[in-house]
Structure 1
Amino acid sequence: MNDNDTTAIVLAAGEGNRLHPLTKNRPKPMLPAAAKPILEHVFDQLIDAGITEIVVVVGYKRERIQSHFGPSYRDVPLTYVTQDKQLGTGHAVLAAEAAVDGTCLVVNGDQIAASRIIRDTLEAHDTAATVALLQRSSVDGYGGVLVDEDRVTTIVEDPPDDREYLLNAGIYVLEPVAFDAIRAAEPRAGERLLVDGLSKLVEWGDVVRGAVSEGLWVDATYPWDLLDVSFELFNTGLIDRQSTRNVHETATVHESVVIREPVIVDRDCVIEPGAVVGPNVCLGENTTVGSNAVVERSVVDTDTRIGANATVTECVTGTGVRIGQGSTIPGGPGDVRVADRVFENETLGALLADRVHDHGGVTYVPGTLVGPRTEIQAGTTVRGTLEAGTEVRS
């Protein structure tokens, strides 16, 4: 089929509970991946695949998306549709039904897939629906698909058995009948799921095609995944289609600074004398790295200040964070608590949410999660999970 005739629906209404506390103030698709929002990478890959119209389903903190992108991106018009309550992927697709005409492409706004996967799926489409599939050693935590030749026979979330499933990449090409199938599928726990609509199509005897492809496909489910996503973008060369030593022309980098590639240093950053930055570091816009500080394998969001002589390793920050002089984030592995689960030996030095302020000489135990607007007094050792607005005294 001709992909230029296809409108893309981007599902970007979800909150991303497992990425708290970073998602307290913004939706998951707006979290940073290599110094720009995940959703921006999603749009880039769609446009590179030939898509010329995009419908964005927004919900949680939708103003953060709409104010960032406005009415268009790279000259492609953006239409916003609001999903008032997040009642599942199928419900989100139905919210966008009136904004599309005929064949449409559906992608998740919090997963980055290379344009090749999108193109392969569009080119394979000639049936009621087509699903992008990837060969992966494990589909744990994701959707699994069984096919007979290229025809989908089974599509399930988080498969319960050990059959050889292909990974459901969350990229779909749908004909109008698919919307009817989503409506006809029984909701689960009050949610309508897109995959249940596809299963209904199979039950009706419609052909659902599986398009096996390959290329970058990354998803940030947990806080430490934000590091992996950025590092994958470095490794695959998708970032800005340029060199991995990407220092913006407006950045100020002292001549004594050591830059270890790959790095991204965004606009208006300042790196002071003697600092060491990299490898695998993303510095968001207007970030300052103080003199003799060391920053390695970290994703640092906009307007952050890293003090002189600080050490920051395997760290993810929100916006407006202050890491004080001589503070130490030594890197993982560490045990990280997410909701009621503890994940052992994860590669995360610390996660500091928006506007965390430490006053210097602070030591972070690996795996620490610090909620937004937390004040940490000088000389403190912090560990575990700190709730938003906490004041930590030495």
Structure 2
Amino acid sequence: MIIGPYAKVWEFSTVRAGSYVGRRVSIGFNCEVTHSYLSAGAVLGHRIGLNRAIVGADVHLSANVTAAAIHLTTDMRRPDREVILRVESGLYRCGTDRFSAVIGDGVQTGTGITLAPGTAVGPRTHIGSGVTLPPARVFPAYSLVSASTATDISVTCPRRRRP
């Protein structure tokens, strides 16, 4: 485990072996970070669970965000399904049965978010409260992801910005 300069880990939080916590990262009350990489300036609110995730710079995850690393199976101690990502060109095999999410730079979330295994969230995406992101999905940069109900997810992708 590596904890970078000026990083803060608040009460009742656990950062487990195999994790990297970058410069000026703040890990809030009652969080668990397992085998994850947190880039500089990331802020984890209260009760965040990250398992085998890659978190970009200046990300802000509000309270009660969970990134699950394994699919449901008969014996949860022995995962038996490889994690994949569905990208425009087809399927990307992660080569492991334990991987949760890639969260791009500047992503912001509301509360009560669940990221299923194999989720990729593009930079500067905003995810509204109460959203459960399905497995093996890629959400483009600058998206707005919201849900009025648990089964109604809306993704709004802005037009491409010109440099």
> Which interval holds the TM-score relative to the shorter structure?
0.7 to 0.9
Give secondary structure in 1 for the equivalent of 2:120: strand
CA distance in 1, matches of 2:62, 2:18: 22
Report deviation, 1:381: 0.8
Identity of aligned residues (%): 23
**Match of residue 13 from structure 2:** 275
Deviation at 1:343, TM superposition (A): 3.0
Alignment-derived partner of residue 377 in structure 1: 128
Superposed displacement of residue 337, structure 1: 2.8
Query: 1:338 offset after TM fit, Å?
Result: 4.3
Specify the alignment match of 2:50 in structure 1.
312
User: Counterpart in 2 of 1:355?
Assistant: 106
Cα deviation, residue 336, structure 1: 1.3
| Residue equivalent to 2:117 | 366
- Look at both structures and tell me which one has the larger radius of gyration over its CA atoms: 1
How far residue 322 of structure 1 moved from its aligned partner, in angstroms, is 1.1
Partner of 1:199: none
1:259-274 alignment runs, 5 A limit? 263-274=1-12
What SS class does the counterpart of residue 393 from structure 1 fall into? strand
Task: Report the Cα distance in structure 2 between the residues aligned to 1:318 and 1:309, rounded to whole angstroms.
Answer: 19
Q: In the alignment, which of 117, 125, 143 is matched to residue 390 of structure 1?
A: 143
Q: What letter corresponds to residue 130 of structure 2 in structure 1? A: G
**Structure 2 equivalent of residue 329 of structure 1:** 67
- Cα distance in 2 for partners of 1:339, 1:313 equals 26
Q: CA deviation at 1:317?
A: 1.2
Structure in which a larger fraction of residues adopt strand: 2
- Offset at 1:334? 2.3
CA distance in 1, matches of 2:142, 2:113: 17
Distance in structure 1 (CA, Å) of the matches to 2:145 and 2:90 = 24
1:326 Cα deviation after fit: 0.8
Q: Bigger relative contact order, structure 1 or 2, given CA contacts below 8 A and separation 6+? A: 2
Aligned length: 132
Give the letter aligned to residue 31 of structure 2: A
TM-fit CA distance, 1:348:
2.1
Give the Cα–Cα distance (whole angstroms) in 2 for the partners of residues 280 and 348 of structure 1: 13
- Give the TM-score normalised by the residue count of structure 1: 0.32
Q: Distance in 1 between matches of 2:87 and 2:16?
A: 28
2:92 to 324, 339, 343: 343
- Secondary structure of the residue aligned to 1:343 is strand
Return the offset for 1:335: 1.7
CA distance in 2, matches of 1:316, 1:374: 15
The one-letter amino acid of 1:264's match is I
TM-aligned CA deviation for residue 339 of structure 1: 4.6
CA distance in 2, matches of 1:385, 1:339: 9
The aligned counterpart of 1:300 is: 38
Greater helix content: 1
Distance across 2 between alignment mates of 1:339 and 1:380: 23
Q: How does 1:203-222 map to 2 (within 5 A)?
A: none
Alpha-carbon deviation of 1:278? 0.9
